[in-house]
Every structure is written in C-alpha cells, then in structure tokens.
Amino acid sequence: MSVAAEFVRAHQSRHLDELKDILRIPSISTDPARAKDVQRAAEWVEARLKRAGCTTSKIYPTSRHPIVYGEWLGAPGKPTILVYGHYDVQPAEPLDLWESPPFEPTIRDGKIYARGSVDDKGQLFLHVKALEAHLAVRGKLPVNVIVLAEGEEEVGSANLEHFIAANAKRLAADAVVISDSSMFAPGQPSILSSLRGLAYFEINVTGPTVDLHSGSYGGAVVNPATALARIIATFHEPNGHVAIPGFYDKVRDWGDDARTSIRKLTFDEHGFQHETGAPALGGEDGYSTLERIWTRPTCEVNGLLSGYTGEGAKTVLPSKAMAKVSCRLVPDQTPDEIGRLVEAHVRRVAPKGVTVSVEHLHGGHPWRAELNGPVFDAARRALAAAFGREPVIVGEGGSIPVVGDFQRILGTPVLLMGFGLPGENAHAPNEWMSDENFVVGAKAVAAFWDELSTSSRS
Ligand code: BES
Ligand code: MN
Ligand code: MN
C-alpha cells in the first residue's frame, strides 16, 4: 500500500467526520430559499481545498450558485488532471420516508445516510482527501491537479458551461476526472463509457378560464386533462418506440463491440426489478434492460397535474393540465433539436379547443467515450490495485450535462470513475454512500495520480 493510501486509511474517521459536516448543509440548488446554504457549502469546499494544500483556491460567484476552483500546479512536465464534482443536492422530499433526517448524516451498517452523500458530496470530497494525503505525506502531488466544484449540476449546469468557455486556457488539462456515478456491483470498480443527455419540457394545456361543473359543461367544452392525456399517448408506439417524427434520425448505431461487451456483463435482472418494486420490467422491444438504459433514447413523463385530486369526488372539468416531460438522449441527438421536434409534434397533435404551450427547461448533451490512452490505462491499474479486481466498462442512463461541455469546449477526454453502489437511493429518500467506498475511492484516486505520473514522460 502506498504512503498516501496508508494516510487515507489511518485518517478515515476524521475524514468521515469532515464529510458529515458538509452533508449537514442543505445545499438544494433548485430551491431559491436555500441559496444561502448553497453559498455556505461552496465556502466549505473552498476552505477544505485550501486546508488540503491547494496553492490557489477561489469562489467565483455566478448569476445563481458559485463555482469553486482550487489548484496545485507544482509538478512541471507532469500531466494535469481536472477534477470535477458538484456540491449541490436534490430536494429531500418526501421527508417522512427518511429513516434518519436527510441533513443529519448517520452511519448505519457501513452506509452514510444523508441527502448528497453519494450524489455528489462524498464522491467529490474523496478527491480532496487524496490531494490532502499526498501533500501531507510527501509535500507534493505526483501530477498537477485542478479542482472545479459547482453548485448547479442538479439544475443543469448553465453557468458552468460559460465559465469553462471563458476560462478554457486556465482549465487546460490532460483529462477531466469525475466521480459522480456508481459501480456496477459492490467491490466491482467501474469506468463509464457513456452518459445519456437530457431535454426537459413543461407542457401546459389550458381550456376554460376556471374549473367548470362537469355536468353543466362536460361534453361541450374540451377537457384539458383529456387533451393532455391524448397528447402524451402519442409519444410512444405500443412496442415502446418513441413515435415523435425524426426522434431517432440522429441516433448513431452503438456498434457490435459495445453490444457484445454489454452482453458479457452478468446483470441480475430479477434483482434489478426487485429493487424497483415494480411488478414487471418493460420498455422498447428488441433491447435488453441494460441496452434500454444505456444505449436507447427515451421520452418519459416525470409529472402530471390537473383537476381535482383531493379526498373523495368532485365533479369538475379542469381549466388546465400540466405535464413535466423529459427525453434522455444518446449520441448524436442534441437537446436543441429534440426540443424542436417535441414542440412541433405536440403542436401538431394538440386537440382543437385548448391552448398548448411547451416550455423548454434544461438540457444536456449525451456523451460517449473513447476508452484508450495513458489516462485510461492508469485508471484501470489504480482501480485494480485499490479494489483487488479489474474494472469493468459500463454505460449509464443518467446525465451529467457538463461532461459533454468539457469534451466539446476544452477538447479534453473525460474519465468517469464512480464509487456509488446499486441501490444507493440517489435523488430518493434514504440516500447513502458506502463508507468503505469513500475510503477505497480516495485510495484509488491517490494511486491513479501515481500511476499517471510514472507512466508519463516528464
Ligand atoms: N450524478 C448524477 C448523474 C448520474 C445519475 C450518474 C445516475 C450516474 C447514475 C447527476 O447528479 C444527476 O442527477 N444528473 C441529472 C441531470 C440534471 C440536469 C438534473 C439526471 O441525470 O437526471
Ligand atoms: Mn451527481
Ligand atoms: Mn444528481
């Protein structure tokens, strides 16, 4: 075990205590009432970067939530790694389903329970601990490291994209490294080869100015709830295909190699279904579960609202109906183009007698990696050493909008090695991160920098 790894192991209980500190801050980026808490979390991260030994650390305010920057660039001739993570979190509701309060971190059975534990505070912080370990033990890092932490990931990273474009020179690096994803199985280190993109909409259907008596008016006035349901019903064919014209035009074939490597993974389909609690799995015909999640685009209703939803019955014809709808995208679909297609389709199929509007919320580009070169090799060796098992290459159905931006704007390859685990309840009640993965993840990152330093010419 390297000296940095020993340091991480020896100091793990202090590190976990520090992690608990930031987990107590409810940095919910979507909630304007929490803006001060998001700011406080940024200050906490900045202070930690400074204390760990970054020679420069700074908070950059934006029009919404701040960006935290830290650097240690004392290894001339060695590669530069840009670490990205986010310190904002999703809302914790529904609160009554949490076994311990979301912002009172609690360790039970080797799991740190708190909103943001695995997504992404714990995974961001383990990079800071790797940095601290190297600097504490050797007084220097084997490579140059820049840390970039944002507070808007969960709301679409709109300001970070501009920051990256405006600071492209300073952010020049050999690779962007991100831990904001999960391992395929416990003890099985994993490197991501893809992320889906996102295009998010709100659809509003309005009819009469107020809710009407459904007896006096029903049958003669078009019902907005029914109209919205009819619109939504046109999104899919019975075989699970998305029926929006042009939706698949830009979808690139995944290729036989990728398909074969997905099929080689031992996936516990039944366990996956069990974990969801759904009575059966279902999706697009002709694809396996992993292919559906990793390689196929979707169109999902995220929320529906209309009419009377209280106790008992109320005979009413609602004046309006609303749906939140989002599409997960795969290369080479773009959020802009899918946005145009969805909006045009909704307008085309909208029944007469109601007014329909489509508002575009946030979006993100899909991403697919070329997994080769010294950075990838170093990551493979470091993960194998830390976990005692060769990493597997996996896809991912979720989105990290800024990943595509890094690749597009900076031209820097992105390496995603996550330390979450299946069932971690990200975005859900009782989110947790394995405390062992927090420690082993920090060791893996510390080892990755060593590997990269020795494998590259100085
Ligand atoms: N860390 C997740 C992305 C992710 C999800 C990675 C699942 C691996 C597995 C990230 O914080 C996230 O939640 N992204 C959002 C997108 C954002 C624009 C709201 C998502 O995927 O819904
Ligand atoms: Mn995340
Ligand atoms: Mn998230």
Which two tokens mark 110? 């080797």
Going from the Cα of 84 to the center of ligand 2, the distance in angstroms, rounded, reads 11
Going from the Cα of 311 to the center of ligand 2, the distance in angstroms, rounded, reads 37
The pLDDT value recorded for residue 458 is 47
Preceding peptide of 119 cis, ω within 30°: no
**Among 28, 84, 124, 153, which is best to mutate for testing ligand 1, by the most ligand atoms less than 8 A from CB?**
153
**Among 180, 294, 402, 414, which is best to mutate for testing ligand 1, by the most ligand atoms less than 8 A from CB?**
180
The pLDDT value recorded for residue 370 is 82
Residue 88 Cβ < 6 Å to ligand 1: no
The pLDDT value recorded for residue 457 is 55
Ligand 1, atom 7, residue with closest C-alpha:
398
pTM for the full predicted model: 0.94
Measured from the alpha carbon of residue 399, the closest ligand is 1
Going from the Cα of 419 to the center of ligand 1, the distance in angstroms, rounded, reads 14
Alpha-carbon distances, residue 209 vs 203, 310, 354, 420, 427 (angstroms): 17, 21, 11, 48, 36
Q: Which residues of the chain have pLDDT under 50?
A: 458
pLDDT in tens, 41-53: 999 999 999 999 9
Measured from the alpha carbon of residue 400, the closest ligand is 1
Residue 180 Cβ < 6 Å to ligand 1: yes
**Ligand 1 nearest atom to the CA of residue 156, by list position:** 18
The pLDDT value recorded for residue 268 is 94
Residue 92 Cβ < 6 Å to ligand 1: no
Neighbours of 372 (CB within 10 A): 9
Residue 396 Cβ < 6 Å to ligand 1: yes
The pLDDT value recorded for residue 1 is 67
Dihedral, 446, 450, 453, 454 alpha carbons, nearest 10: -170
Distance CA 289, CA 424 (A): 19
Residue 362 Cβ < 6 Å to ligand 1: yes
Going from the Cα of 371 to the center of ligand 2, the distance in angstroms, rounded, reads 21
Helices (H), 139-279: 158-166, 224-233, 256-264, 269-276
